[in-house]
Amino acid sequence: MTSTEEALSLANGLPATTETRELPRCPTGVYGLDDITGGGLPLGRPTLVCGGAGCGKTLLALEFIVRGATEYGEPGVFISFEELQSDLVDNVRSLGFDLGRLTAEGTLRIDHVRVERSEIEETGEYDLDGLFIRIGHAIDAVGAKRLVLDTVESLFSGFSDERVLRSELRRLFQWLKERGVTAVITGERGEGGLTRQGLQEYVSDCVILLDHRIEQQRSTRRMRIVKYRGALHGTNEYPFLIDRDGIRVIPVTSLRLDHKVSRERVPSGIAHLDEMLGGGGYYRGSSVLVSGSAGSGKTSIAAHFLEAACRRGERCLLFLFEESPDQMVRNMESIGIGLRPHIESGTLVVHAARPTLTGLEAHLAVMQRMAREVSPAAVVIDPITNLTVVGTRLETNLMVTRLIDTLKSSGITTFFTSLTGSPDAPEATDIGISSLMDTWLLLRDIELGGERNRGMYVLKSRGMAHSNQIREFVLSDRGVQLAPVYLGPEGVLTGSMRLAQEAREQAAAAARRWEEERSRRELARKRAAIEAQLAVLRAELESHDEDLRKLDDQSTAEDVDAEDRRTRMARSRKQRS
Amino acid sequence: MSHKNSESESTRDAREFWDLRLYIAGETPKSNAALANLRGLCETHLSGKYRIEVIDLRQNPELAMADQIIAIPTLVRKLPMPIRKIIGDLSNTDRALVGLQIERRIH
């Protein structure tokens, strides 16, 4: 029997020279899987996909076939040992896989191999040529490049002669390699090994392990490449999920830093904030984080940004994890930001969901899918921190990383709000994601003088000369206003203390003006008094002059009189004598 | 190559007629042994009331799927009902008789 020779050659290991070269890849088309396998499954070789019941093996295998037929022009054969063809067709219809159409087009062939122990009495020597012929015929019928055997281990329940089965399986996989089809073999996870029947002994090129567990009442699916011969592959566990588009593997750790950056600015919607950011606003395609404690005005800043973008006619996508769209629109209307017309016109697309509704990966998938469908200029997530209730801090960070990565590579500006817990150290809680952010605005409550006011500053903004000042942040019926704060010896003064300080300054100024006026009036009065004195003196002088003139006149007159009298006297004397 | 053997069809009986179909894949030692064993078994236990049809799946591969054949050789008892299926080269006569439920009928 040739199988012993094969067993020996496998046990000894194949020559190393053939192992070191990179195997050509067959792209699966399964979202994310090709990223973590470096391009796909080994071309023309069998790959083992194993995992427990309900882990998604069959779906992964089926998607591999469907994507091949629909996206890569590679017809496929699906050999099902468990499910009937009609069941398979029904099960994946909800995922948008129309197996009936593909079968009719001749790009897919499904064969249900029924293994019934009760029907099979073994009467002597046999082999599995019947199965070989079936598979071979199916491959030839559609010209298949891809093949799935799901789950070939079922044969072990139908045939009692394990020795024959094992040698036949080894022969089967060897034969598949010779036929050059890229095959996915699924296997049920066994107690002490990857598969119940040790299939990994036969399929040695690539082994993928799927896992489905419940953590904190949430279903989490994970995938790990256990083995990929002659290739570097991600060794981490990658979360994956099954949504309406099929399987989505989230290669969370593959953050790329090769996206193009834009020098174009997008206004923040708040004129003063644009000034603080060196004029112009955020960079297009950058990521912006606004963090602050509850009620500090994060959503308002986001709404300003959205409204400004919508008004320029740029499509925006808003994810709400806290409020309903109606509630948010109403609240923003109260500060004079009208989002409703933009929602109605379709410029603004709002998606609201409870964070606990689904797992983290599902949220990410929804966001990525919507971003693909809407192709927005900006995406706002309010607040990103609510997602931490679904996953751990690490998971959320990885998810945000992945999301930013996707959106940035499409040149989409991302805007996140983040709720910080402790007002004492608001920066600390955001450290995980803040390093991913290009611009970080921090809203701080400033409690002073028996009231709480909002202060805002730009903690960082990469690539722009931004203000280092704290501005007071006032929510008015005309939206967010940024007021310069009073910086005095006792620190930042805000709110009514700022107003009081301003009033004091105004009073002082008024007093100064009044004092000046008073001095001016006093001087004028003094001048008037002096002038009055001058007038009196002048009048006195005039009267003196007058007196003098009178005196002169009088003396002259007296002289005349005296002369006159003398004359008259002389005249009278002459008359008497 | 497909060759039908219609041996001893003269005493056809609806209740006691055996319609057997043997699936093989080419002329291999196993399939030759199976056919020889089957013929001997039928002559011994079912003389005159059986028909053997040999189907070579190499010639008619589509029948492997249609008739749910995995192992080679496979013998299908189409009549009498219900359908029974046994595999192997029939070298173990006892098991073959049990599988075809022949022994009980004979004794």
| Distance between A149 CA and the closest CA of chain B, angstroms | 14
Q: What is the C-alpha separation between A276 and A457, in angstroms, rounded? A: 8
pLDDT at A272 over 90: no
Query: Would you call B84 and A119 a contact, using CB atoms and an 8 Å cutoff?
Result: yes
Q: What is the C-alpha separation between B52 and B95, in angstroms, rounded? A: 19
- Give Cα separations from B9 to A526, B39, B49, B51 (angstroms): 154, 14, 6, 7
Q: What is the pLDDT of residues B45-90, one digit of tens each?
A: 887 888 899 999 999 888 888 888 998 999 998 888 888 888 888 8
Q: What is the 3-state secondary structure (H, E, C) of A360-409?
A: HHHHHHHHHHHHHHHCCCEEEEECHHHHHHCCCHHHHHHHHHHHHHHHHH
- Choosing among A120, A133, A175, which should be mutated to test the B contact, i.e. which has the most B CBs within 10 A? A133
- Assess contact for A146 and A64: CB atoms under 8 A: yes
What pLDDT does B23 receive?
92
- Type of residue at A373: E
Query: Would you call B96 and A121 a contact, using CB atoms and an 8 Å cutoff?
Result: yes
Which among B70, B90, B91 has CB closest to A130?
B70
Chain B residue numbers touching A125 (CB-CB < 8 A): 30, 33, 88-89, 91
- Assess contact for B34 and A91: CB atoms under 8 A: no
User: Which CATH class name applies to A265-493?
Assistant: alpha beta
Location of structure tokens 């008739």: B67
Range of the domain at B87: 4-106
| Interface A-B: count of C-beta contacts within 8 A | 103
Q: Find the helix or strand (DSSP H, E) in which A545 lies.
A: helix A495-576
Q: Which position has the higher pLDDT, B74 or A454?
A: B74
| Distance between B76 CA and the closest CA of chain A, angstroms | 10
Assign residue B20 the CATH number of its domain: 3.40.30.10
pLDDT at A15 over 50: no
Nearest CA in chain B to A141: B62
Mean pLDDT in residue range A203-219: 78
Chain A residue numbers touching B88 (CB-CB < 8 A): 121-126
Q: What is the C-alpha separation between A440 and A262, in angstroms, rounded? A: 18
Which among A130, A137, A158 has CB closest to B72?
A130
Chain B residue numbers touching A114 (CB-CB < 8 A): 68
Q: How many CB atoms are located within 10 Å of the residue A170 CB?
A: 17
Chain B residue numbers touching A159 (CB-CB < 8 A): 71
Q: What is the C-alpha separation between A362 and B86, in angstroms, rounded? A: 49
What pLDDT does A451 receive?
76
Mean pLDDT check: name the lowest of A366-380, A458-472, A510-524: A458-472
pLDDT at A19 over 60: no
pLDDT at A270 over 50: yes
Smallest CA-to-CA distance from B68 within A122, A138, A112, A142 is with: A112
Smallest CA-to-CA distance from A113 within A135, A92, A91 is with: A135
- Assess contact for A237 and A211: CB atoms under 8 A: yes
Q: Which position has the higher pLDDT, A424 or A365?
A: A365
Tokens linked to A142: 């559609």
Mean pLDDT in residue range A454-465: 83
Q: What is the pTM of this model?
A: 0.59
Q: Is the CB of residue A133 less than 8 Å away from at least one CB of chain B?
A: yes
Percent of chain A topping pLDDT 70: 85
Q: What is the pLDDT of residues B1-31, one digit of tens each?
A: 444 444 444 444 445 788 899 999 988 888 8
Q: Is the CB of residue A478 less than 8 Å away from at least one CB of chain B?
A: no
Query: In the β-sheet with B74-79, what is the strand arrangement from edge to edge?
Result: A120-122, B84-87, B74-79, B18-24, B50-56, B4-5
Beta pairing, strands A486-488 & A451-461: unpaired
- Type of residue at A440: W
- Give Cα separations from A51 to A48, A187, A188, B85 (angstroms): 10, 7, 6, 32
What ipTM score was computed for the predicted complex, to two decimals? Answer: 0.83
Q: How many CB atoms are located within 10 Å of the residue A411 CB?
A: 14
Q: What is the C-alpha separation between A507 and A512, in angstroms, rounded? A: 8
Which among A119, A122, A128 has CB closest to B88?
A122
Tell me the domain boundaries of chain A: 44-115+126-249, 265-493
Helix axis angle, A57-71 relative to A85-93, nearest 10°? 80
Q: Is the CB of residue A412 less than 8 Å away from at least one CB of chain B?
A: no
Same fold, A44-115+126-249 and A265-493: yes
Q: Supply the mean pLDDT for chain A.
A: 81
User: Which CATH class name applies to A44-115+126-249?
Assistant: alpha beta
Query: Would you call A125 and B89 a contact, using CB atoms and an 8 Å cutoff?
Result: yes
- Give Cα separations from A133 to A176, A413, B30, B69 (angstroms): 12, 56, 16, 9
Query: Would you call A137 and B62 a contact, using CB atoms and an 8 Å cutoff?
Result: yes
Q: What is the pLDDT of residues A171-181, one digit of tens each?
A: 998 999 999 99
